[in-house]
Amino acid sequence: MSDAPADLPSDDARLAAEIDRLKAAFPKTRELYREVCVLLFFRFGQAPTANRLYQLVKRGSMGTPAAVLGEFRAEQRVAAARGELERTETALEQAHRGAARRAGRGPRTGEGAGGRVRGTPGDGSRSRAPQKRGGDTRP
């Protein structure tokens, strides 16, 4: 069961309501996609994807959200480089971590390797291919 009271809308319901509000405020498709990127990324902490944007907005061709998303990401990289955004990396990392958990993938470090990635130098787990000897030509 959810810990949220029954009278509070779910994240999906809140997201749908916000997108309906944005559709009324931004009649131009590219501007609408841009605002939905901002909404997903900053308000809901989700990394926007072209497919997700198209599912939510359902306007234009698939090329439109892809192009707008590329522009949005470029703007975020520039802002992060200037130090204007402190939250960018954190929100992206959280979104990717959440997606990895939902997909059933664990962290990148090998859990069976004592917190180390298997095959790293010095852990003795690397295997080597047999070396050919100089004078030996037999298969």
Q: Is the pLDDT of residue 113 over 50?
A: no
Residue reference for tokens 């975020």: 76
Token duo for residue 40: 């997903």
Range scoring the smallest mean pLDDT among 2-11, 21-30, 103-112:
103-112
Is the overall model pTM greater than 0.85, yes or no?
no
Predicted local distance difference test score (pLDDT) of residue 99 = 57
Q: Residue 38 is encoded by which pair of tokens?
A: 């901002």
pLDDT over 60 (residue 92): no
